[in-house]
Structure 1
């Protein structure tokens, strides 16, 4: 029954032509979408870039409260995390990074009101009071301050206005989940100064259970505040000042335990681990003899329960001077991020592996852009410069096999890995870039684009690994290296008609090399990894058909991925080590379809479909040949859709309904493509129904997220040497109600 429903939704979303054609088009058309992907406000259909835009209202309706909620909402987009409030793993078209260390940087950039969010500690701050989010696919560098080779998530918050506004919203759902948001603002000095304050509080009781203590686990608890001021002293000067604060005090994510060591020949698979048929039985165990046998996905035995404490602060100034035919834009930002997270990593009742993550990050960025601002000019251009000064300090500790300490005279044994290991280090990065892009209208219908960028990252790395609180020093290293590269963009866009355009682009993206930020015991593990580069070729079509009641955008792409940075085991000078390494080249190609259809005046459907083939070239790690394997987090097929319906009521107001669904085919979480380290295809469905008053000020309703209560894996950490996999599971079904007010 469910498969028939989904097939019907897909057919309806992507084949609406006949239904649309049967109804009069008078007064019915898809809404225009304005994006700033090219640093100027443009119709989505005029931008020769694969971009998906979401309004703040649509994200609220789908329950998106942080970047994780964007998973699978746009073609080719995958977002997951094994942590509660940090280190999101963001992939676009298979391009991203699985490293969780705080000095790493993703191939997908996150921008909030034009400010690049560098630290993975800060990328899961709450989404609230949002104007719009744009998902840009493919390398971004000739228009953006920080270069990214996978794409960008461009978030714009609600700006202050001279008119007084006040908004409040409350949600209550399963597991005593509460989500409170509010904003208030207006003019302080008429025509000169407007302010806005917005906040969010999210709290729930947790959806997992600890059989050892009887406590609930995986509780969410955070708050966020943003203050904005828009200063317009003259008609030619605009300055947006912002201050934001975020604090997370919820639980550290507690994964499910899966034992791997077979205790009988019959349970032993070809790889030496337990076969899937014996998972969760007495014939498998971990290194300490533990196995979780009750089959409950949301219950576990944990000797300790940790917290993921995150504190963030940021301040920015976005100033624009209109200078006749050009504008000068300055974006200045300063921020810091602190994390203190204790994690019962082994997910069992013994002290086998526990980690305390301690990290601090400080960032200052300055971006300057000079850009044309005449919308009718044949030549539109942007010239920019970017500077970033970032410092990352890490002092994390891994307490390994503590329960075995009584068996050793000294209370620890390095030879047997029975000790507390720490690796304090400081990484300082100074990044410089100059970039520019020009779009020239060759004819009334043909536009050519050229862009160029030079980037250089000067990184210094002061590293020390030690045991037992510094009693034993294992390794020290001081290194400095500059990573630089040229990148660029070429493109052509042709308007076939007023409603149909085609484009072809070539982009070269690059991500700088760096230093491994995890526990290292040999100098080979700290050899710097090199830059990775990506040559991206894309063709696309953007169209509005059937009297603009159907928006249909298509794209096809090919990526040549070179020196890809991979978090894996590698062979260095005859030694096998766990590092961030450069794999051989990879190939990525695929196609995407996005459609928006206005079926009737009251019914609209949005849908997206992505086909992806992403495989390694020649890649050998620790003697294992991964050549031809699929890249992690790169499903062959993803699909998403949302149907929105409104029905006016005779007495006033209207009924509102939304149904959304997303599908992802099988994904692998590891380079080996081992079947146990994967998740089969899964559908996730949500729905919302509500009522809105005639004046639009009051809205109330109910919602269901993960309607069919699907249970699936969102992350897997495999600790083969200790005989266990750690499975991060999705949130269970959530049923709730909401009330919203706008003034």
Structure 2
């Protein structure tokens, strides 16, 4: 933190010393970045919010095809998933949620073209034909839909154009990986109606070998399409209509199996489980005695292989009506998501645990905003509006537990021994209402104050039943209704030191709705509604451009008081390890972030970001364990990312283009216990790309390497202590390939 304050003082001194600035041509200046973080187009440097903007070209260069590819691309951002095509775990500055049940919602909101994507079933789609992605850190409740106490990921796709354009890209890489994208755009009625069609196909043969079947598993296979129309019947009215479809038929994630029950005293660690030195030695086994002993992280023994079938549909309409002094904005959207996934959860040759996830979600949202256009004196800008969401989630998932032991029991199952197929069909209906407003007022020539306020209410009904053997035995039924409401708000000051330096200080109160646990429950206590969580965030920052705008340097420092935190925790029920969601703890989070962009020459630019984070639980006891003072899951102390882009003109025309990127994360814990076995040590990941671009810029071809040094690391761990197994989801191995891109 002292280093951050020192650099802050240096920035102020440099920005005020015009004698040190050197005259530079416009070609050496960093390009202005326009963001919509405050629901209007503004220069990134003028927005008193900690935000990272990622261009579509930058995402393409790094091979980002879904939200998990954003991991570590912005300071403080962590994204992972234990599933193939659903349920991303998104954390910003340590705030997020690991719950994978379809009725849960993260503290980080995802928005695609202004539409809130509520369902975790749908949050892995839509990452193609991207214009820009903005990562907003900290609570954003006074302007954004719901549950944004951690931040927001704002995705903007490319809009229809009034002139004909087309683009296409093809990649081929290791494991027969294919990524095809394309878009066509142009006018139907000149200056009145334009349309755009964009699509994507992504597939590969699988990155892991199954020794039981001889097949490759963990294969990717999905396609998506988006149709959009821009209708401008009058110069003051603009309407953007979109329809999208996403279909995934790839493999369910097949994790690596790590046995935990020791067979000998020598193989026993201090926690009673297998000692790390004995992993894979054959001296430890799972509940059935199996252990994967070959030491190959890209091979396993699975008696069954499953698919993660995801079907998504969405339609939206955004209408902007310029009324002179104010504008009216309406965003209407409808979507549905279906999932049918069979998962060989134990990843072993035995039938120990298999899960069939069956879930459906549909959602209707309506947002209306009135917002000021530039006033006569330009001193006041404001936004006021309302938000409504109607969502239904239906789940009928089944967990088949210890099936190989069924012959031992006369009835073919035994609830007392957890040998049965358990299911928990439920329906959750949510009606969400919110009213919000935010005003920015120029108190003096260079001083602007911000005030924002929001009221939110979620009316939830929950009809739940847990049962065994297809309903033969009913374990528990529950019908509940509850409304969760809260006020949230924002206060801020921004001071413009000069045209190239802004300072800001903000206070934000974030809120995330309470709700009902959507996993397997066998006792009424597990279904007691959990309450809202609340986050009070204090932040100071600066945004600067130096050396005739050849360097952009943005910094922030923050402190969070995180109260009634919703924690996804492990518990033992009837001898079986289950996961429950509860208000388990309060936490303190503080840290600092630095982002820099430098234009070192006409042909060379560098971007970098650094995050320093301290995120720990306050008093927290769970199932008799004391987790007080433990680090929050998915909150590394240090993350760093950097990218260098170079262009070299050729005498005969055209250019050589290349990029090099790197990302670093310090140690990460995946569990509240901070157990060493449930963590990932520090890791660096490096990528590179190089190619040739035609003189007119229309054609580019080249080679790329992602995860250049073939690092293997864990992105998620599911620990099932009662069955003696940890399930390790690993990153993708090194990918070497070639690309061809065309623009018209």
1:75-106 residue CA offsets vs partner (Å, 9 max, x unmatched): 00000000000000000000000000000000
Please, which moves more after superposition, 688-697 or 95-104?
A: 688-697
1:508/1:535 contact within 8 Å kept: yes
Residue 68 (structure 1) aligned with residue 68 (structure 2): yes
Point out where structure 2 has 5 or more consecutive residues left out of the alignment.
1-13
Secondary structure of 2:68 counterpart: helix
* CA shift for structure 1 position 373: 1.4
Tell me the CA shift for residue 584 of structure 1: 1.9
Q: Secondary structure at the match of 1:563?
A: strand
Displacement of 1:226 in angstroms is 0.2
394 and 563 in structure 1: CA distance in 2 versus 1, 3 angstrom threshold: same
CA displacement, residues 34-70 of structure 1 (integer Å, 9 cap, x when unaligned): 0000011110000000000011011001100000000
| Alpha-carbon distance between aligned partners in 2 of 1:47 and 1:623, rounded to the nearest angstrom | 46
Aligned partner of 1:234 in structure 2 is 234
Match of 2:408 in 1: 407
Structure 2 CA distance, aligned partners of 1:200 and 1:405?
45
Indicate the residue corresponding to 2:336 in structure 1. 336
Alignment of 1:360-399 (within 5 A): 360-374=360-374, 377-399=378-400
Match of 1:152 in 2: 152
**Residues 22, 547 of structure 2: 8 Å contact kept:** no
Cα distance between partner residues in 1 of 2:571 and 2:491: 36
User: Residue in 2 aligned with 1:465?
Assistant: 466
Would you say 1:686 and 2:699 are equivalent positions? no
Describe the superposition over 1:432-460 as per-residue Cα deviations: whole angstroms up to 9, x where unpaired: 00000000011110000000000000000
Q: What residue number does 1:33 align with? A: 33
Distance 2:166 2:380 in 1: 41
Query: Which residue does 1:510 correspond to in 2?
Result: 511
Aligned mates of 1:267, 1:570 — CA distance in 2: 25
Match of 2:79 in 1: 79
2:646 is matched with which residue?
A: 645
Aligned 1:256-275 pairs, distance under 5 A: 256-275=256-275
Instruction: Write the mapping of 1:93-104 to structure 2, written as runs, cut at 5 A.
Output: 93-104=93-104
Cα deviation for residue 571 of structure 1 reads: 10
Displacement of 1:145 after TM fit?
Answer: 2.4
CA deviation after TM superposition for structure 1 residue 25, in Å: 2.5
The corresponding residue for 1:291 is 291
- Do the aligned residues in 1 keep the contact of 2:577 with 2:721 (CA within 8 Å)? no
Shift of 1:23: 8.1
User: Deviation per CA, 1:630-684, whole angstroms, max 9, x where unpaired?
Assistant: 0000000000000000011111111101000000000000000000000000000
> CA shift at 1:502, angstroms?
0.3
- The 5-angstrom pairing of residues 417-496 of structure 1 reads 417-496=418-497
CA distance in 2, matches of 1:293, 1:141: 50
Alignment of 1:137-176 (within 5 A): 137-176=137-176
Q: In the alignment, is the contact (CA less than 8 A) between 2:367 and 2:388 conserved in 1? A: yes
Confirm or deny that 1:595 pairs with 2:628: no
Give the aligned partner of residue 7 of structure 2: none
How far, CA to CA, are the matches of 1:76 and 1:329 in structure 2?
Answer: 32
Q: Could you say which residue in structure 1 is the equivalent of 2:6?
A: none
Going from structure 1 to structure 2, the CA distance change for 1:631 and 1:598 (only over 3 Å counts) comes to: same
Instruction: Indicate how the Cα distance of structure 1 residues 453 and 239 shifts in structure 2: closer, same or farther if over 3 A, else same.
Output: same
CA contact (8 A) 1:399 1:421 kept: yes
Asked if 2 retains the 8 angstrom alpha-carbon contact of 1:23 and 1:600, the reply is no
Write the distance in 2 (CA, Å) between the matches of 1:570 and 1:563: 19
Q: From the superposition, tell whether residues 166 and 199 of structure 1 become closer, same or farther in structure 2 (CA, over 3 Å).
A: same
Q: Distance in 2 between matches of 1:725 and 1:340?
A: 24
Offset at residue 578 of structure 1 (A): 3.9
CA distance in 2, matches of 1:440, 1:398: 56
- State the TM-score, normalized to the length of structure 1: 0.96
Give me the whole-angstrom Cα distance separating, in 2, the residues matched to 1:577 and 1:698: 53
C-alpha deviation, 1:579, in angstroms: 1.5
**Aligned match of 1:124:** 124
Shift in Å at residue 147 of structure 1? Answer: 3.8
1:50 corresponds to: 50
Structure-2 residue corresponding to 1:553 = 554
When the two structures are superposed, what TM-score results if normalisation uses the length of structure 2?
0.96
Displacement of 1:583: 1.6
> Secondary structure in 1 aligned to 2:95?
coil
**Separation (CA, whole Å) in 2 of partners of 1:500 and 1:196:** 39
Distance change in 2, residues 1:577/1:177 (3 Å) = closer
Q: CA shift at 1:26, angstroms?
A: 2.6
Distance in 1, Cα, partners of 2:142 & 2:569? 31
Q: CA deviation at 1:269?
A: 1.1
1:691, CA displacement in angstroms?
A: 0.9
Q: Name the residue aligned to 1:10.
A: none
Give a deviation string over 1:255-308, Cα, whole Å, max 9, x none.
000000000001111111011000001111000000000000000000000000
Name the CA distance, whole Å, in 2 between partners of 1:472 and 1:200: 45
Which residue does 1:720 correspond to in 2? 721
2:10 aligns to what?
none
Residue 9 of structure 1 aligns with which residue? none
Partner secondary structure for residue 104 of structure 2: coil
Q: Secondary structure at the match of 1:265?
A: coil
Query: Which residue in the other structure is 1:5 paired with?
Result: none
Q: CA deviation at 1:570?
A: 6.2
SS in 1 for 2:96: coil
Deviation at 1:126, TM superposition (A): 4.0
CA contact (8 A) 1:525 1:577 kept: no
Tell me the CA shift for residue 404 of structure 1.
0.2
- For residues 203-214 of structure 1, the aligned pairs below 5 Å read 203-214=203-214
Alignment of 1:304-315 (within 5 A): 304-315=304-315
Question: In the alignment, is the contact (CA less than 8 A) between 2:491 and 2:507 conserved in 1?
Answer: yes
1:584 aligns with 2:585: yes
> CA shift at 1:430, angstroms?
0.1
What CA distance in whole angstroms lies between the structure 1 residues aligned with 2:438 and 2:76?
26
Change in Cα spacing, 1:313 to 1:576, as seen in structure 2 (3 Å) is closer
Runs of 4+ in 1 over 2 A off after TM superposition: 21-27, 569-572, 575-578
